[in-house]
Amino acid sequence: MAQTRASKEQGHSIKLYLVTWILLFVLSACSYLVDYFQLQSELRWSLILLLMFLKAGLIVAVFMHMAWEHLTLIYAVLLPPLVLFVFVGIMVHESGYTLATRQISFALGQ
């Protein structure tokens, strides 16, 4: 079993890693340009997130070989972080509350 797996992985050529590397360079350059050209608000945020997820996906799938793993490992590793979105949601709510109380408090001069 280990033998077949090893021989399967040896099938990857160096070219695959070089192509991924170049892609990551291009994507990073793009995210730098987002700041260089001072894009603002929705366009800026969506581009930042898009480029971030593309880069993260390439690193996890190709460099960390996740694309060639069994679904068992893929789901064990990639599903749990999804609960972080719930955490983000809770903290966005909390920040809104904190900001509101601060603004009220400062407006009343206390």
Contact positions vs other proteins (CB under 8 A): 1-2, 5-6, 9-10, 12, 14, 17-18, 20-21, 24-25, 28, 31-32, 34-36, 38, 44-45, 48-49, 51-52, 55-56, 59-60, 62-65, 69-73, 75-77, 80-81, 84, 87-88, 91-92, 94-96, 98-99, 102-103, 106
The Cα–Cα gap between 60 and 27 comes to: 15
CA distance 47 to 38: 12
Return left, alpha or beta for 13; rule: phi > 0 is left, psi -120 to 50 is alpha, else beta: beta
Nearer residue to other proteins within complex by CB, 65 or 110: 65
